[in-house]
Amino acid sequence: MTENETNEQNFKITNCISKIDDELKDRFKALYTIQSICKDFDEEEVAEIRKLEIQYENKYKQIYSQRERIINSKDPLPDEII
């Protein structure tokens, strides 16, 4: 979803909330705030997961390189892995 679409959706939600009774309005505002917090946590989680993926991609890169060298007989077989 683009930023413009998100802003438009937020405007629609805010507009709908402003038209309802005061008692329900506060409940919707609270729920909307909680949903925003959850969205922030989701974005943070995705960013942290990506950091871990990159960390392990780099670890695997070394293993894949070593495996490729062994398969193509570019390096002698290391004694510690035989």
Q: What is the pTM of this model?
A: 0.59
Q: What is the pLDDT of residues 51-73, one digit of tens each?
A: 999 999 999 999 999 999 999 98
Q: What is the pLDDT of residues 11-50, one digit of tens each?
A: 888 888 788 888 888 888 899 899 999 999 999 999 999 9
Q: What is the pLDDT of residue 42?
A: 97
Domain ranges in the chain are 3-81
Contacts of 24 (CB under 8 A, 6+ apart): none
Q: What is the pLDDT of residue 79?
A: 84
Q: What is the mean pLDDT of the chain?
A: 90
> Residues 4, 8, 11, 16: what is their CA dihedral angle, to the nearest 10 degrees?
-160
